Chain A
Amino acid sequence: MEKINLEYLGQKFNQLQTIDTDNLLSNVRREGFNTFNKKGLPTFKNEEWKYTSVSDLFKKQYHLTEDELKPAISASQVDEIRLPGFENANELVFANGKYVPELSTIRSSKAQLVILPLEEAANGIYKDLVKEHLGKSSLFINDAIHALNTSFIYGGVFIYAVKGQIIENPVYLYHISDAVENHILSQPRSLVFADSSSKLQLVETYKTIGSMDSFTNEVVEVAVKANAILEYYKIQNDGPNGSHVGTTHIRQIGKCYAHTVVVSLDGGMIRNNTNIIMEAAGNEAHMYGLYLLKGNSHVDNHTLVDNRMPNCFSNELYKGVMDERSTGVFSGKIFVRPDAQKTNAYQTNNNILLSENATVNTKPQLEIFADDVKCSHGCTVGRLDEEALFYLRARGISKEHAQAMLLKAFAESIIEQIKIESLKEYAEQLIEERLKGDNS
């Protein structure tokens, strides 16, 4: 904690507490700040942070924009980050971690989908929902970085899929960090509630403007009720100056279906915590991840599936390709609590190292306290299949091209899990460009 300016953070925190004195949010913030002060930055001695160091990140002097809700981001800058399929999407723009309604476009009707600034939701008719569901992730992730986000909950968003509504328009969340003049610390916070029998698709992406560094410390909390479907996609293709620690905490509170895909293509230091908490019997969850790294990128995917009730099913597949000096980390945890009989849980992690200086660390874990379960995990680290390469080259395909073909096929099983067609094509195109670029 030596370099991080505690005084500055404390000052900003107090300032925020006086600006926004709403009881509900300020109490959550207070609690978060206490945890933050108590815990201190995680070191490699902390099992959860064994392979990922955040101390370098905190050596920089970041700026927080907790009190100004409208940073200088123009509509044209938003255009740069727009993802394909935006014509049909609800586009929410976050500037330096703050939700900016003025730049956002909401295409679904209010009868289907409610999108409000978090403060408004916490004071209005959704007060009880916010109270019930905000901050639940801190029970699972109890480190200073998560607590830092909680300490500065302000300018977040509340997304509510109304009961029985199939939301046709996916919700795109654009996170833009304005690092033209200063290093910037963005801390977006979202609370999502998918009511019974609704269907909601969330897509997140990140962009740093300017050449200074940005650090996005994000928390998304999702609660999904019975018979609802939640799809969550995260596409990370920011520059090497964009670092990220993000927690996506999905609670399946009724018998429902969750589907997540996290694709990391570029960035500085990236840590994704994806948690699925099965709080009702008969839940189903699918988690996918792809990390295709080069340069000095460091991507750490931490997943947790917590089976608390019987008859749940989960399947997890994460794949990684590490090139140049990049590092890939995977840590998957499956918990099966004593009551969670008849759990089926599967987890697979496959890695390919392409360069001499690339590293991969993987840690698939099973913790099982019930006896009537079927759980398995598998994990591999290796290189491209020599025989397959030879097969292609024998047919006159250049080595580079053959390698690109094999890698594309390797990545395909993750990309095809993106169920928004335009987004899937976009991801495919990004990967193709990347593989081509690598070879030139």
Chain B
Amino acid sequence: MKEELDVLEETVSRDYQYGFVTDIETDVVPKGLNENVIRLISQKKNEPEWMLNWRLKAYAHWLKMEEPEWANVKYPPIDFQDIIYYAAPKKKAKVNGLDEVDPELLKTFDKLGISLNEQKRLTGVAVDVVMDSVSVATSFKKQLSEVGIIFCSISEAIQNHPELVRKYLGSVVPMTDNYFAALNSAVFTDGSFCYIPKGVRCPMELSTYFRINTENSGQFERTLIVAEDESYVSYLEGCTAPKRDENQLHAAVVELFAHRKAEIKYSTVQNWFPGDENGQGGIYNFVTKRGICMGDYSKISWSQVETGSAITWKYPSVILKGDNSIGEFYSVALTNHHQQADTGTKMLHLGKNTRSRIVSKGISAGQSQNSYRGLVRAGKHALNARNYSQCDSLLLGDKCGAHTFPYIESKNKTAVIEHEATTSKIGEDQLFYCRQRGIDTEAAVALIVTGFAKEVMNQLPMEFAVEAQKLLAVSLEGSVG
């Protein structure tokens, strides 16, 4: 046990490898939040009148709301006036291809291991990159537009496809939804927009990388994905941030809209700076993610690997409105040091014959707190609704905590809901078995934890699975013995 703790200590002292700052000229709006800042953001982005009004309405509503306190996380009060709400890399002109992107910026993404050029050539993944607040590069736009897919930054979409944005923005996560969603609606600066027309199967994985670079800035991005009838899209999202002593706020909103027989697969590898071993700094990741299966036979699937952020507060949800629709949620959340994660999902069964599946794996180490919080609700008309949930927690270390808060509400007698949860430490017998066969403790732990998370890893697209696996392995390097 002593040995185990020592190795754990080692992990705890490991450094965050994405903690560099890129020296790029940025265009920032002064700190603070008021109507003028919102007008300024809107103006800088050259937005139409309706967009500005929408923002102002959200802001007015936000002012009336109170910060939620129910989550199982603790943090000092956030000073919303001490945040930079807009920071954009200075661009000389609109970029059309990667060749025109600031080379400094490209280097940043090289360091992150997301070489746009590489990716473009090898993997065929279309990437939209969001740095601080603004989308800087979107690759593969041309190939996508050939099949009619719109994949661009949301600012561009507001300019070029206002009818679509207007129709869908806020339709899944209304601006009044919650405190952070309202804030995001007021000040969101960029994000991705993706529209898959009827009957189109997106030929490649779409991907967004988020990075917070500027000090004291918050990142408020907004992602909107609309899948028309019988279409399919797989979307990936990744995030990093430089090391800083202060906490930074990331309050994003993601909306997914699936029409009849459409399928959206949304995967996240979240690796924001988690703070140092004393709990200094790190990102507050307060995200609202929600999808609606509007049409019959539609499907939305969330998979996430959460290893970063000082505080994670995130519940990707699915509203199962169409008959025979399917919702899925696969999650691995790993917390270390002083990280706190309160994450889970909501599955709201409204239509007939809807099905959902939840698999959540929590791993806590160091002095971290890891909570699963989920809601499964079968409405009065959700005939034959079916849910299966499984939440397992693994504890590595004697100072961490693992918590499970499932809520199950059923108003329909034909609904069948099952929930299972277990919490345990890493099995002595499993470790013993491995060691007996000549596998050292460290490798054995990695093996067991990988196995523990495998069900979720299998759900990730290949390109991501590799990265996620690596992330887990690195985070666990020498964890327990």
- Given A368-B393, A371-B425, A376-B421, CB of A360 within 8 Å of CB of B409: yes
Output the least CB separation between A1 and chain B (Å): 21
Output the least CB separation between B363 and chain A (Å): 12
The contact of B405 among A355, A358, A363, A373, by CB within 8 Å, is A363
Q: Is A39 an interface residue (CB 8 A)?
A: no
Q: Is A351 an interface residue (CB 8 A)?
A: yes
Interface residues of B in 379-421 (CB under 8 A from A): 380, 393, 395-421
Q: Is B178 an interface residue (CB 8 A)?
A: no
Q: Is B36 an interface residue (CB 8 A)?
A: no
Are B417 and A381 closer than 8 Å at their CB atoms?
yes
Q: Is A48 an interface residue (CB 8 A)?
A: no
The contact of B417 among A366, A368, A372, A380, by CB within 8 Å, is A380
Contact partners of B408 in chain A: CB under 8 A: 360-363, 379, 381
Contact partners of B405 in chain A: CB under 8 A: 363, 365
Q: Give Cα A30 to B76, complex, Å.
A: 35
A contacts with B: majority SS: strand
Q: Name which residue of chain A comes closest to B400, CB basis.
A: A371
The contact of A378 among B395, B399, B420, by CB within 8 Å, is B420
Contact partners of B414 in chain A: CB under 8 A: 383
Contact partners of A374 in chain B: CB under 8 A: 422-424
Output the least CB separation between B207 and chain A (Å): 35
Q: Per-position contact with B for A347-370: 1 when CB-CB < 8 Å, else 0? A: 000010111101111111111111
Interface residues of B in 274-323 (CB under 8 A from A): none
Q: Is A382 an interface residue (CB 8 A)?
A: yes
Q: Give Cα A379 to B416, complex, Å.
A: 11
B contacts with A: majority SS: strand
Output the least CB separation between A416 and chain B (Å): 24
Q: Is B70 an interface residue (CB 8 A)?
A: yes
Contact partners of A367 in chain B: CB under 8 A: 401, 403-404
Q: Is A47 an interface residue (CB 8 A)?
A: yes
Are A363 and B406 closer than 8 Å at their CB atoms?
yes
- Given A361-B409, A375-B422, A383-B413, CB of A370 within 8 Å of CB of B403: no
Contact partners of B425 in chain A: CB under 8 A: 371-373
Q: Per-position contact with A for B91-108: 1 when CB-CB < 8 Å, else 0? A: 000000000000000000
Are A351 and B410 closer than 8 Å at their CB atoms?
yes
Q: Give Cα A58 to B422, complex, Å.
A: 40
Q: Name which residue of chain B comes closest to A345, CB basis.
A: B423
Are B398 and A372 closer than 8 Å at their CB atoms?
yes
Q: Give Cα A358 to B411, complex, Å.
A: 6
Q: Is A338 an interface residue (CB 8 A)?
A: yes
Output the least CB separation between B358 and chain A (Å): 13
**Which size class do A's interface residues fall under?**
20 to 34
Are A363 and B399 closer than 8 Å at their CB atoms?
no
Are A365 and B415 closer than 8 Å at their CB atoms?
no
Output the least CB separation between B151 and chain A (Å): 41
Are B421 and A364 closer than 8 Å at their CB atoms?
yes
The contact of B416 among A362, A370, A383, by CB within 8 Å, is A383
Q: Name which residue of chain A comes closest to B388, CB basis.
A: A380
Q: Give Cα A233 to B418, complex, Å.
A: 29
Q: Give Cα A369 to B424, complex, Å.
A: 11
Output the least CB separation between B353 and chain A (Å): 15
Q: Give Cα A223 to B443, complex, Å.
A: 48
The contact of B410 among A360, A375, A376, A377, by CB within 8 Å, is A360
Contact partners of A371 in chain B: CB under 8 A: 395-398, 400, 425
Output the least CB separation between A386 and chain B (Å): 10
The contact of B413 among A341, A354, A369, A380, by CB within 8 Å, is A354
Output the least CB separation between A39 and chain B (Å): 17
The contact of A376 among B396, B415, B422, by CB within 8 Å, is B422
Output the least CB separation between B99 and chain A (Å): 53
Output the least CB separation between B230 and chain A (Å): 33
- Given A372-B398, A375-B424, A376-B423, CB of A364 within 8 Å of CB of B406: yes
Output the least CB separation between B13 and chain A (Å): 20
Are B410 and A381 closer than 8 Å at their CB atoms?
yes
Are B407 and A353 closer than 8 Å at their CB atoms?
no
Q: Name which residue of chain B comes closest to A365, CB basis.
A: B405
Q: Name which residue of chain B comes closest to A333, CB basis.
A: B405
Are B423 and A368 closer than 8 Å at their CB atoms?
yes
Q: Name which residue of chain A comes closest to B394, CB basis.
A: A371
Q: Name which residue of chain B comes closest to A362, CB basis.
A: B408
Are A377 and B421 closer than 8 Å at their CB atoms?
yes
Are A353 and B410 closer than 8 Å at their CB atoms?
yes
Q: Give Cα A26 to B338, complex, Å.
A: 46
Contact partners of A372 in chain B: CB under 8 A: 398, 425
Q: Name which residue of chain B comes closest to A369, CB basis.
A: B401
Contact partners of B396 in chain A: CB under 8 A: 371
Interface residues of B in 409-447 (CB under 8 A from A): 409-425
Q: Give Cα A257 to B419, complex, Å.
A: 29
Output the least CB separation between B410 and chain A (Å): 4
Are B398 and A338 closer than 8 Å at their CB atoms?
yes
Are B410 and A373 closer than 8 Å at their CB atoms?
no
Q: Which of A359, A360, A371 has the most CB of B within 10 A?
A: A371
Are A365 and B404 closer than 8 Å at their CB atoms?
yes
Q: Give Cα A359 to B418, complex, Å.
A: 16
Output the least CB separation between B375 and chain A (Å): 10
Contact partners of A373 in chain B: CB under 8 A: 395, 423-425
Are A381 and B415 closer than 8 Å at their CB atoms?
yes
> Can you spell out 24 A-B residue pairs with CB atoms less than 8 angstroms apart?
A338-B399, A341-B398, A351-B410, A358-B411, A358-B413, A359-B409, A360-B409, A360-B410, A361-B409, A362-B409, A364-B419, A372-B425, A374-B422, A374-B424, A375-B424, A376-B420, A376-B423, A378-B420, A378-B421, A379-B418, A381-B415, A382-B417, A383-B414, A383-B416
**CB-based closest 4 A-B pairs:** A353-B413, A371-B395, A381-B417, A382-B416
Residue positions of A touching B, CB distance < 8 A: 47, 338, 341, 351, 353-356, 358-383
With A371-B395, A382-B415 known, 20 other A-B pairs at CB within 8 A are: A353-B412, A356-B412, A358-B413, A359-B409, A360-B409, A362-B409, A363-B406, A363-B407, A366-B403, A366-B404, A367-B401, A368-B403, A369-B400, A371-B397, A373-B395, A373-B423, A381-B408, A381-B415, A382-B417, A383-B413
